[in-house]
Structure 1
Amino acid sequence: MLQSTQSVALDASHFELIEAMTDEVVILDATGTIVAANTAWKLFCEENGGDLKSHYVGANYFDICKLAVLDAVVQAEAVLDGLRTALKTGAPFEGEYPCDGPGVRRWFQLNANRMAIRGGPCLLLQHRNVTTRRMAHDDIERAHLQAETFAALVATTGEAILTYDLEGCIISWNPAAERLYGYTEQEALGQSVELLYPQDWPTSVLEYRDQIVAGNLRQFDAVRVAKDGTKRHVTIACTPIRTLSGDIVSISNIHHDVTATRKAEEVRDLVSREVIHRAKNMLSLVTAMQRQTANSAKSLAEFNKSFGDRIQALARSTDLLVDGGWSSVDLDQLVRAQLAPFLHGQDDVVDVAGPPVSLGPQALQLIGMALHELATNSTKYGVMSDGNGHISCHWSHTEKGGLHFHWAETGITLDPSLKKTTGFGSKVLSVLAPAMVNGSAETVTSENTLTWTVTIPAAHLSSPC
């Protein structure tokens, strides 16, 4: 028991009182000077590098608090004000403050009660180590904050997050899951997670559970079905949820919607296959053109000229098809593009008319090739050779929504021997063209007229009428 040689005089009862206490206890006089300290206080000083000679008896406690204020200890100023108020008014003071030692965190609870000694006011200060309780409280606060933060993340994230118990029943369902699948939280909770499975899905929730619990499954792709029946392609990240003792009590899932990505991949694959298919068709067509042109040509020069012209005609049709996204081409645009190289300013000899029609790829190639052959013949033997006569290029819809295309070249004089020609152009008009679209074609010639008609089924029009 330590006592100051100055200040108030204490008797044996005061010493007995503070020695009976297990907390670190000191008595302050009216100026804040420590006038007595018990053994617990002395041991604390010795164990924590304090003043081993005086154990701070005779030092001013208020001054120590002021130094702590200067050291930016947040609670020090409140403690100082509380002690002064208790000394002045007699109102008890209680507070907590940090008192860290070398490499260790500590918290103390301070209780101050005024007492009279020889008629003078003094303070009895009890210091109780509450580090364990305070750290537990801080841990709880931290866990609560983490839980609140996690709950906020789950509530606000754009990813669908759901949790189900070991029987597969949904026990949590965030707003993003509602947006993805259409079920409200009230509708989803308590339901089996298989509520989202397609009818023929091969893996049950319990099979998934066993793989996840065993640590064999962390992520997988799946198809799930929304409330309105829409199928969703999702990548599912999964993890078991454990108690503090390590027992698994539920499974957490994060569903990342990859529907748009999967559809884009399907479109890409479809386009790739379509490009390959069309390339093969184009090569077959060019091969047939090459073979038939070679059969009818009388010289290499004639072959080169005829084959080159036909390739150019095919290229013009293909350019229009590319501009139309390989889906459709306006018939009027095609006719004018194919005839333009042959007219040389004689636009008035051709009458082009018909309702709006969008041609599919096969119909486009058919009519494009036919127009080239017809215009080539006209340049050699018909209207485009001398400007005499007239060409009408008209079309209309059939009763079944198909296309009836009609070329009529009138006012011309045809050599009777041309009626018997069996060259490539003739085959395009009579055989190859209708075969490409499963339609029908007819060529009729007389002394002063040539007509060619073709009927194309609605399936080869982009917007059948």
Structure 2
Amino acid sequence: MRRTIEQDSALADFPGVLNALDDEVAVLDASGYIIAANGAWERFRVENGGDPDACSIGSNYLAVCASADGPSSAAAQILPDALAGTLQTGNTFRCEYPCDSPTEKRWFELTANRYQQDGKAYLIVQHRNITKRHVEREEIEQAYINSNAMAALIATTSDAVISYDLDGNIITWNPAAARLYGYGAEEILGRSLETLYPEGWPKRVTYYRDEIIAGRLQDFEATRIAKDGTERDVWISCAPIRNSDGEVIAISNIHRDVTDVRKAERARDLIAHEVIHRAKNMLSVVSAIQRQTARAAETLEDFNQAFGSRLASLSKSTDLLVHNAWTSVSLCDVVTGHLEPFTSVENDRRVTIAGPHIDLQPESVQTIGMAIHELATNSAKYGVLKQRRGQVAISWEVEEGSGLLQFRWLESGSVSESTLSRKGFGHTVLTSHAATMLDTNASYEMNSDGVSWEIKLPPAHFKAR
């Protein structure tokens, strides 16, 4: 709605005064019609685009506000009642609203005041561009939110977050750093970051500082020392901290504890090497069994029977090791396990087993197991376990002083004369193979009184409980 505006004597001096103002200013009569406006208002009106006559002199400002849509419509639609209240009471009305031009986002502050002259009331409506202030306020609010979020993140993260000044002195220390290294903030703040370095660490904190500032170092792995002397493997992410002028003022570090990961990796590598080593040893043993068995066998059937039996013995030792996670096996279990194919130890009065609890290392399990198998095989073919008379006494003890484990097989009371002349693979196992594998000496005697085998194991091959 528009109408022709007649010059009001009360407003005769307004154009000059209004044009001196930077803000967009318009004068409304009591009905809401614009009766005067300054140049800034006219430019503002044109920049907004849309209806070229909207908010021009002669248009009804209140009607324009009531029909507004878009981002500023919510604020615009409360203006008719608000401005009417200002006309009635004289109270200043103020609000902020978005008013985007076709090319940029903008925010404005609208202020309305009542002006009275010659018994008439007018409204002076002033628009001030507050885009910069609004953006700065939003940035401050967002920075505040970000700061709080970052503080919460640093306080709750499981990674140690540390910063130090350009001299290498620690200036921030989060709870995770306290948990990782054992120092409370009150103990460590102000101290050199090198407090965490192992003795003799080759690189100074100044080296890391210079490399980080130069952009050549973003992350690296290092060893650091906790308050109690514990070494920790840590993965360190790092970056320079700059002030508002872009000047580097400090260095930030994030320390992630990878100690357990590195231990697991080293254990995995050790196990892999150990598996390869044991596999090679096993193949060597199998190859030796094959050669020696073939050398002593008179027929293919004899070879197959002896070779198969010896592989079964080797498999039994391996089963015992696997059952115990390839760590150690009770010597008693090794003995009873290898005697099982030949006799029931619990019910056979001819066999006695005596000795303290001893755990054998893997190499010993295989070697002692193979020796027991050969002794039991010979006994089952020619001795006590065949003829059901005599005695097999198996015993062991740890010698005082030397700390050696002495293991004995003593078979007496029933030995075939044919046994005395046999020197096949079993004889090799009992006289040289076992001693060589365990880096010790073994004695093996066969005579008309019986069979005796004795070996002494160094402490590295066993553990007494």
Q: TM-score range by the shorter chain?
A: 0.7 to 0.9
Matches of 1:344 and 1:193 in 2, distance apart? 68
Q: Is the contact between residue 236 and residue 254 of structure 1 (CA under 8 Å) also seen in structure 2?
A: yes
Deviations 1:40-63 (A, max 9, x none): 323332344366558533433333
Query: What letter is aligned with 1:412?
Result: S
| 1:382–1:53 CA distance, 2 compared to 1 (3 A) | closer
Q: Distance in 2 between matches of 1:80 and 1:43?
A: 23
- Structure 1 match to 2:285: 285
Is residue 2:51 matched to residue 1:27? Answer: no
Structure 1: gaps spanning 5 or more residues: none
Please report how far the alpha carbon of residue 6 of structure 1 lies from its aligned counterpart in structure 2 after TM superposition.
Answer: 7.3
The aligned amino acid for 1:269 is D
Q: Distance in 2 between matches of 1:151 and 1:209?
A: 24
In the alignment, the residues of structure 2 paired with residue 296 and residue 370 of structure 1 have an alpha-carbon distance, to the nearest angstrom, of 17
Alignment partner of 1:405 is 2:419:
no
- Following the alignment from structure 2 to structure 1, what is the Cα–Cα distance between the partners of residues 447 and 54? 137
- Aligned-pair distance for 1:108? 1.9
Q: CA deviation at 1:20?
A: 4.6
- AA partner of residue 285 (structure 1): V
Distance 1:443 1:59, change over 3 A: same
- Partner AA of 2:195 in structure 1: L
Residues 89-128 of structure 1 aligned to structure 2 (within 5 Å) = 89-128=89-128
AA paired with 2:310? R
With over 3 angstroms needed to count, the CA separation of the structure-2 counterparts of 1:123 and 1:347, relative to structure 1, is same
1:248-397 aligned within 5 A: 248-299=248-299, 301-343=301-343, 347-348=347-348, 349-397=350-398
Aligned counterparts of 1:325 and 1:81: Cα–Cα separation in 2: 86
AA aligned to 1:384 is L
1:83 alignment partner in structure 2: 83
Aligned to 1:427: 428
Deviation at 1:368, TM superposition (A): 0.9
Residue deviations 1:375-421, cap 9 Å, x none? 11112112322333443434445446654434343442532x53354
Letter in 1 for 2:419: L
Q: Relative to structure 2, which stretch is displaced further, 97-106 or 26-35?
A: 26-35
Is the alpha carbon distance of 1:62 and 1:363 closer, same or farther for their aligned partners in structure 2, counting shifts above 3 Å? same
Amino acid at match of 1:388: R
How much does 1:223 deviate? Answer: 1.4
Is residue 9–residue 118 contact of structure 1 (8 Å, CA) maintained in 2?
no
Amino acid in structure 2 at the alignment position of 1:368: G
Aligned to 2:37: 37
CA offsets per residue over residues 325-365 of structure 1, 9 Å max, x none?
Answer: 22112233322321222238995343445443322112212
Q: Secondary structure at the match of 1:311?
A: helix
Do the aligned residues in 2 keep the contact of 1:3 with 1:36 (CA within 8 Å)? no
1:203 and 2:203 are equivalent in the alignment: yes
Question: Distance between the aligned counterparts of 2:232 and 2:365, measured in 1?
Answer: 38
**1:414 to 2:407 alignment:** no
Counterpart CA distance in 2 for 1:391 and 1:433 is: 20
Q: 1:201 to 1:384 in 2, by over 3 A?
A: same
Q: Give the Cα–Cα distance (whole angstroms) in 1 for the partners of residues 99 and 415 of structure 2.
A: 119
Q: 1:50 to 1:317 in 2, by over 3 A?
A: closer
Higher mean Cα deviation, 183-192 or 285-294?
285-294
Quote the offset at 1:8 in angstroms: 8.1
How far apart in 1 are the matches of 2:72 and 2:109?
19
Cα distance change of structure 1 residues 97 and 233 upon mapping to structure 2, 3 Å threshold: same
Cα-Cα RMSD: 3.2
What is the DSSP-based 3-state SS (H/G/I as helix, E as strand, rest coil) of the residue aligned with 1:326?
coil
Query: Which whole-Å CA distance do the structure 1 matches of 2:81 and 2:178 have between them?
Result: 55
Distance 2:130 2:71 in 1: 22
CA shift at 1:102, angstroms?
A: 0.7
Decide which moves more: 274-283 or 43-52: 43-52
1:459–1:80 distance in 2 versus 1, CA, 3 Å: farther
Alpha-carbon contact 1:79-1:95 (below 8 Å) kept: no
- TM-superposed CA distance for 1:169, in Å, is 2.0
Larger deviation: 65-74 or 335-344?
A: 65-74
SS of the aligned residue for 2:341 comes to: helix
Residues 1:70 and 1:438: Cα distance change in structure 2 (over 3 Å): closer
Q: Deviations over 1:11-31 (max 9, x none)?
A: 425555545544222222333
Q: For 2:327, what is the secondary structure of its paired residue?
A: coil
Query: How big is each residue's C-alpha offset from its partner over 1:52-107, in whole Å with a ceiling of 9 and x where there is no partner?
Result: 55853343333333334786644335655543332232222222222211111222
Q: 1:52 to 1:339 in 2, by over 3 A?
A: closer
SS at match of 1:341: coil
- State how far apart, in whole Å, the 2-side matches of 1:55 and 1:290 are: 109
1:4 CA displacement? 5.2
- Name the amino acid aligned to 2:317: S
Q: Given that residues 383 and 412 in structure 1 are in contact (C-alpha distance below 8 angstroms), is that contact kept between their aligned partners in structure 2?
A: yes
The count of corresponding residues between Structure 1 and Structure 2 is 462
Name stretches of at least 5 consecutive residues in structure 2 with no aligned partner: none
Partner Cα distance (1:424, 1:119) in 2: 133
Higher mean C-alpha deviation, range 401-410 or range 3-12: 3-12
> Given that residues 48 and 100 in structure 2 are in contact (C-alpha distance below 8 angstroms), is that contact kept between their aligned partners in structure 1?
no
Cα 1:73–1:181 change in 2 (3 A) is farther
User: Alpha carbons of 1:447 and 1:64: their partners in 2 closer, same or farther (altered >3 Å)?
Assistant: same
Q: Which moved more, 1:263-272 or 1:150-159?
A: 150-159
1:409 partner letter:
E
> Any idea what SS the aligned residue of 2:241 has?
strand
